[in-house]
Amino acid sequence: MIAHVETCVAVHDEIGQPQPLVVLRFGPAGAPRYWLILEVRADAQLADVDKLLRQLWLECCGHMSAFRVGRRELPKTIATGIAFAHPGSKVDYEYDFGSTTALVGELLGKRQGSIGRAPVRLLARNEPLVWPCGECGAPATLVCPFCIDSDDGVFCDAHAEAHEHADEEVYLPVVNSPRMGVCGYTG
Ligand SMILES: [Zn+2]
Ligand SMILES: [Zn+2]
Ligand SMILES: [Zn+2]
């Protein structure tokens, strides 16, 4: 996918003055099946990247977030091209300091191009993952947030109804996000 994106992306450029761009990959540490590839104007702020990450993957109730390199927090006003300056540059990202979703952003490349008026655009993302129901193996539709860390925290509609936490009315939908089943995230 990354190779495809690198060759085809310029075809989708908008008309306009070419500007320095950075291509970033974001994904949760330790869960490689979730990923986003973003293209960002080098002068766009990390705040713009934060906004898109929230929109695509994270936003449930306006939690705080932070970009960090090691233990140093980067100001969200910093230019993305400075935060991701060198080949292989990595920046950690956290959304919600309680029930945290932790991501790692990595610089894949730089190019000159025009992406239109928005400072950030999504180039590609993982296909929705199929989670088998813990009881019957059919594609799951619901997550039990109490049981998500166990082996069978996802269920088809019928088995969600039969599950021990059905009466708690806490189920969340299966969604294409590493924040699935966390806090009130519904996609
Ligand atoms: Zn929340
Ligand atoms: Zn089932
Ligand atoms: Zn449960």
User: What's the token pair of residue 23?
Assistant: 């291509």
| CA of 71 relative to ligand 3 center, distance in Å | 35
Q: Determine the pLDDT at residue 149.
A: 84
Per-residue pLDDT band at 16 (split at 50, 70, 90): confident
Q: What is the pTM of this model?
A: 0.91
Ligand nearest to the CA of 100: 1
166-176 average pLDDT score: 94
Residue type, 58: L
77-84 average pLDDT score: 98
- Which residues are CB-contacts of 35 (< 8 A; sequence separation ≥ 6)? 25, 26, 27, 125, 126
Q: What is the mean pLDDT of the chain?
A: 92
97-111 average pLDDT score: 96
| CA of 162 relative to ligand 2 center, distance in Å | 9
Is the per-residue pLDDT at 110 higher than 80? Answer: yes
- Report yes or no: 124 and 37 within 8 Å, Cβ to Cβ: yes
106-135 average pLDDT score: 93
Least confident of 14-23, 29-38, 72-81, 128-137: 14-23
Per-residue pLDDT band at 13 (split at 50, 70, 90): confident
Q: Determine the pLDDT at residue 1.
A: 65
Per-residue pLDDT band at 152 (split at 50, 70, 90): confident
User: What's the token pair of residue 18?
Assistant: 């070419």
User: What's the token pair of residue 180?
Assistant: 């699935």
Q: Determine the pLDDT at residue 128.
A: 95
Per-residue pLDDT band at 2 (split at 50, 70, 90): low
| Run of H or E including 74 | strand 72-74
| CA of 177 relative to ligand 2 center, distance in Å | 21
| CA of 132 relative to ligand 2 center, distance in Å | 8
| CA of 61 relative to ligand 2 center, distance in Å | 30
